Each structure stands twice: as C-alpha cells, then as structure tokens.
Amino acid sequence: MSKQFDVIVIGGGPGGYIAAIRAAQLGFNVACIDEWKNSKGGPALGGTCTNVGCIPSKALLQSSEHFDHANHHFAEHGISASNVSMDVGKMLARKDMVVKQNNDGIQYLFKKNKITFFHGRGAFVSAGADGYVINVAGATEESLLGKHIIVATGSNARALPGAHFDEERILSNDGALRVGAVPKKLGLIGSGVIGLEMGSVWRRLGSDVTILEGLPTFLGAVDEQVAKEAFKAFTKQGLKIELGVKVGEITSNKKGLSIAYTNAKGEAQTLDVDKLIVSIGRVPNTIGLGAEAVGMKLDERGAIVVDDDCKTSLPNVWAIGDVVRGPMLAHKAEEEGVAVAERIAGQHGHVNFNTVPWVIYTSPEIAWVGQTEQQLKASGRAYKAGSFPFLANGRARALGDTTGFVKFLADATTDEILGVHIVGPQASELISEAVVAMEFKASAEDIARICHAHPSLSEATKEAALAVDKRTLNF
Ligand code: FAD
Ligand code: NAI
C-alpha cells in the first residue's frame, strides 16, 4: 500500500525545498524526496546550490577575498601584516561547516512545516486515476502516491567530450570546491560564471590561472560596457583569459595535464596545468527519474518540457528550476517553486522572468536586471542611457573600492527603466533596488527623486538614474 500525499516534490534543492514549504503553508500534505548524500551517507538537503554551488562557492570567495585583502590592501589602511598564510584545509572545513548549517536549516524547516522527507532516488512508476506512483530507492524502498508531482531534479556539470570528470585533475564544480592545496597552475575551460568565480578564488590564493574560452566575446550575455570594464579588472588582477580558442586533446602526464588548443589566430598552443576546471555549462538532470514510464516529454537537451506556468506534458505534473528552460539560477528555481505551489492551490502564482537578477560574485561584482544596451539596439527600441562611476562615490572611496559603475537604460519616451547594469562593490546587494523599481514599472526619474542614505554605494544608483536625464550632481 503506497503512502499518500497531496503533493510530492522530487528534488530538495532551492526549487524543490521551497516548493515543498510553500505547498505545506497552503495546507497540503507534502512529501519531498532527495537523494543527495553528505560525506557520512546521510541526507544533505539543499541540492547543488547548498552542497556544491552557490553557498560553498561564496564561502570560498569570502575566504580568498580576506586573504587577498590582507596581502594587498591592508597596507593602504596602515595595517601591516607580514607572513600572511592560508591554511587551505581550514578554509575548506569552514566552507563545509557553512554548507552543513544550511543542510540542517532545511531539515529544521521541513520539520517545522510538517513535510515528510524521504532520502533516496525518486522515480515515476505509473500514472492512474488517483495520481502518480513514485518509487523511492534509498536505504529502504518506499512506494508513494501523489495527486500532484513537482519535479525539481536540477542539473549536472557538462563534461568536455573525451575528458570525463575524475575530480582529481579534471574537475567539475564539485571537485573545484574541494581542491586540498593551491595548484601552482590552474586551467579553466569556459569564462562563464563558474569559470570567473572559481578562477578568482584560486588566483587570489596564488595559483597561476588561465581561462580558455570558446567564444570570441567575453561575457556575451552581459552589457558590453560592463563586460569590458570587468575584463580590464580581471586581467589586471592576473587572470589570464584567452578568448576564441578551440580546445583539442587533453592528455594526462606525470606532472599534470596538457591541453592542446588553437588560439583566436588559429595557432596551435598547449597549456600545461596541475588541475583543470571544466565550466562549460550545465545539463538538466533527469537521470533515473522514470520520465519514460509515464511519458513525460523532454526536449532535445534533456530538459523537461514545460509551459510558462511550469506545467509538463502530463496532468498535475509540474517541473521547476534547472531541469526546465530558463536561467539556471537558485532564485529563479525558488520563484517557480512558490508559483507552482500556489497554482496547485488554485491561486495565481506568477514569475516575472524579465526581472530575474543575475549576479557574478567576482571582485568587482557584476549584477544586472533587464535588457542590455546591445539587446535594446538589436530590438530597435529607443532608449536613454545614464551611468555613474564608483570613483565619484564617497562611500566607495572610503571602502577603497572604486572600480566600476552603475548604468541605467530607460525608455526614450516614457523613461521606464528597461535595464540596470552594475560592475563594482556590493553590486549583488545594490541590484535589488533596480529589481524592485522594475517590478513596479518605475521610471529612472522615480529612482532619481528617492532619498538615498549618505554616504552609501546606493547613491551611485541614484546618480546613474539622474544621469539618464544628464543631471548628475556629483560627477
Ligand atoms: P538543484 O539545486 O540541482 O537540486 C536538485 C536536487 O534534486 C539535488 O539535491 C539532487 O540530488 C536531487 N535529485 C535529482 N534527481 C533526483 C531523483 N530522481 N530523486 C531524488 N532526488 C533527486 N545560482 C545562483 O542563483 N546564485 C549563485 O551564486 C550560484 N552559484 C553557483 C555556483 C556553482 C559552482 C554552481 C554549480 C551553481 C551555482 N548556481 C547559482 C546555480 C544554482 O546552484 C542552481 O540554479 C540551483 O541549485 C538550481 O536549483 P534546483 O532546485 O533546480 O536544482
Ligand atoms: P556558463 O554558461 O556561465 O559559461 C560557460 C562558458 O563556457 C561560456 O562562456 C561558453 O561560451 C564556454 N564554453 C562552452 N563550451 C566551450 C568549449 N568547448 N570550449 C571553451 N569554452 C566553452 O556556465 P558555467 O560557468 O558552467 O555555469 C553554469 C551555470 O551555473 C551558469 O550559467 C549559471 O546559471 C549557474 N551559476 C550561477 C552563478 C551565479 O549566479 N553567481 C555562479 C555559478 C554558476
């Protein structure tokens, strides 16, 4: 006899666990199945984001930034620190502790919301009049019956053909977050989000870092002006970024790895490294889900086909997060989870894909929401642009971090904000104001007329909004 639930969520990452909590808040009897194991074989709720993604990468970015500051920036403040050293083991242990706090926090939230948790792999078995039978294969086997199923099984790192992840020398995001000693020479393939964040961590700790990028443009999805400023800052810090390369054979030898590639000029090159991180995107994860048992449609990339409301090809089966179309971001997965739970309850859950912010947690940070200048040009929309440099912001000067700027793009006629792009200190926090403004369809003038605390980095946001009307006050 199967255990019965109103809602069964498969996957306990940010999409799945948030969907489970929202469904429980709405009065449903909810189960969540997740197979992630911690080092002791126990459950580790939170998915990619908590275990090998957002959270551990930010922990390492923080530790490595402290190290960088102690080595290169304390002196400006009159602080002398000699023989600064990094205990990589301790840094990793701290990161693991931060991860565990998040794992435990989600287990607590499940108890608080009376969500039944099953540790194991969930798979569709059959569909019937009462709902879907889901098998859970863990330490024991369980059979569950659910009226509504939410699939939130996430994604896995894409491997380079012919170079599987051994997590010793050729690393995915998982191995990249567990490197036990600073590699002398580190290679990365792909100068996307992971390439830049993980490249920054190990560069700050002393690795000689080279990133090989296939495309001829750097951060093609980012506003060109921002990408240019970021490229300048990263290369000045010592990150070597080669664009327009074609990666060939990767061979292992006694010392490490040798990567054959042709550069943008078509010349044959080799890069010798101790370790290689491959960060060339991620693939939706439907392995072992039993999609075929119930006839759930997947697209050519293996992603579950959904409509704008996250409905799959099957009645009462929903899919959210990295396993469906759209940006692979934790907050996008969460928003979809909340919206789906509300739709199951007959409410009108909504996700505004136009106002999903992006952040790259490098130094300087990069954050944006809405359209880029190149997208507006391509669409032929008439717009006005205004930007303000952190160099002219008092708080940024006091912080000693004046790289970058805030840039506003607004409709030429209505002044509605169409995009905001930030490269600079605390861009991850500053972008929220722009998201709120765009959600409320604010104009650039609305931001320009709001009182911002002084001295604060957010004054650069106000000034960039003023710049749209060519009336900055401090520049
Ligand atoms: P996931 O988090 O992948 O969770 C899916 C869960 O389902 C996993 O626990 C998996 O084990 C489980 N599962 C899969 N199949 C089954 C099954 N059949 N049965 C049971 N369980 C199953 N995004 C951001 O927004 N900000 C960041 O700073 C950020 N940093 C990142 C850094 C790195 C290095 C990486 C790799 C990603 C980062 N991301 C970041 C992306 C973010 O991690 C993902 O977008 C997010 O985790 C997707 O959430 P999800 O719930 O869809 O899937
Ligand atoms: P990505 O899509 O950000 O970047 C991949 C890069 O690899 C691209 O620039 C692409 O042109 C390049 N590439 C692809 N194939 C290549 C090849 N064969 N040779 C050389 N270059 C090649 O993917 P990434 O960095 O792996 O991250 C995956 C996803 O995880 C991101 O898209 C993002 O959704 C999420 N993420 C989000 C973070 C954040 O929000 N701060 C941090 C890290 C990851």
pLDDT in tens, 84-100: 999 999 999 999 999 99
Question: Span 4-12, mean pLDDT?
Answer: 98
Which pLDDT does position 469 carry in this prediction?
97
Rounded to the nearest angstrom, the distance between the alpha carbon of 66 and the centre of ligand 1 is 27
Rounded to the nearest angstrom, the distance between the alpha carbon of 268 and the centre of ligand 1 is 37
Which ligand number lies closest to the CA of residue 259? 2
Cβ of 153 closer than 6 Å to ligand 1, yes or no, is yes
Q: CA 166, 168, 173 angle in degrees (round to 5)?
A: 75
Cβ of 194 closer than 6 Å to ligand 2, yes or no, is yes
Question: Span 119-127, mean pLDDT?
Answer: 98
Q: Counting Cβ atoms within 10 Å, is residue 183 exposed (0-12), middle (13-18) or buried (19+)?
A: buried
Q: What are the DSSP calls for 153-168, one per residue?
A: --EEEPPBTTB---SS
Joined together, the tokens standing for residue 440 give 């409320």
Residue nearest to atom 2 of ligand 2 (CA): 281
Q: How confident is the model at residue 363 (pLDDT cuts 50, 70, 90)?
A: very high
pLDDT at 467 over 80: yes
Rounded to the nearest angstrom, the distance between the alpha carbon of 464 and the centre of ligand 2 is 29
- C-alpha 287/C-alpha 433 separation (Å) is 39
pLDDT digits (tens, 9 = 90+) for 47-86: 999 999 999 999 999 999 999 999 999 999 999 999 999 9
At 181 the three-state DSSP class reads coil
Question: What phi and psi, each to the nearest 5 degrees, are found at residue 12?
Answer: -115, 35
Rounded to the nearest angstrom, the distance between the alpha carbon of 192 and the centre of ligand 2 is 4
Q: Answer whether 366's CB lies under 8 Å from 222's CB.
A: yes
pLDDT at 216 over 90: yes
- C-alpha 30/C-alpha 21 separation (Å) is 8
Which pLDDT does position 162 carry in this prediction?
86
Ligand 1 atom at shortest distance from the alpha carbon of 173: 34
Cβ of 13 closer than 6 Å to ligand 1, yes or no, is yes
Cβ of 35 closer than 6 Å to ligand 1, yes or no, is yes
- C-alpha 356/C-alpha 336 separation (Å) is 11
455 prior amide bond cis, ω within 30: yes
Which pLDDT does position 74 carry in this prediction?
96
Q: Answer whether 146's CB lies under 8 Å from 132's CB.
A: yes
Q: Answer whether 123's CB lies under 8 Å from 8's CB.
A: no
Rounded to the nearest angstrom, the distance between the alpha carbon of 350 and the centre of ligand 1 is 21
Cβ of 311 closer than 6 Å to ligand 1, yes or no, is no
Q: What is the dihedral of CA 220, 225, 230, 232, to 10 degrees?
A: 110
Cβ of 328 closer than 6 Å to ligand 1, yes or no, is yes
Which pLDDT does position 1 carry in this prediction?
76
pLDDT at 130 over 90: yes
Residue nearest to atom 28 of ligand 2 (CA): 281
pLDDT at 124 over 90: yes
- C-alpha 417/C-alpha 419 separation (Å) is 6
Cβ of 99 closer than 6 Å to ligand 2, yes or no, is no
pLDDT digits (tens, 9 = 90+) for 429-449: 999 999 999 999 999 999 999
pLDDT digits (tens, 9 = 90+) for 256-300: 999 999 999 999 999 999 999 999 999 999 999 999 999 999 999
Out of 73, 164, 350, 454, the active site residue is 454
Mark 450-460 as b/e (b = at least 16 C-beta within 10 Å): eebeeebbbbb
Q: How confident is the model at residue 420 (pLDDT cuts 50, 70, 90)?
A: very high
- C-alpha 459/C-alpha 453 separation (Å) is 7
Ligand 1 atom at shortest distance from the alpha carbon of 121: 19
- C-alpha 221/C-alpha 218 separation (Å) is 9
pLDDT digits (tens, 9 = 90+) for 219-257: 999 999 999 999 999 999 999 999 999 999 999 999 899
Q: Answer whether 320's CB lies under 8 Å from 152's CB.
A: yes
Residue nearest to atom 4 of ligand 2 (CA): 192
At 279 the three-state DSSP class reads coil
pLDDT digits (tens, 9 = 90+) for 143-179: 999 999 999 999 999 999 989 999 999 999 999 999 9
Cβ of 55 closer than 6 Å to ligand 2, yes or no, is no
At 27 the three-state DSSP class reads coil
Which residues, 6 or more positions from 23, have their beta carbon under 8 angstroms from its beta carbon? Answer: 6, 7, 9, 30, 150, 341, 344, 345
pLDDT at 204 over 90: yes
Report how far apart, in Å, the C-alpha atoms of 262 and of each of 186, 213, 243, 271, 278 are. 18, 11, 10, 10, 17
Cβ of 190 closer than 6 Å to ligand 1, yes or no, is no
* pTM, 2 dp: 0.98
348 among known catalytic residues: no
Rounded to the nearest angstrom, the distance between the alpha carbon of 228 and the centre of ligand 2 is 18
- C-alpha 381/C-alpha 173 separation (Å) is 39
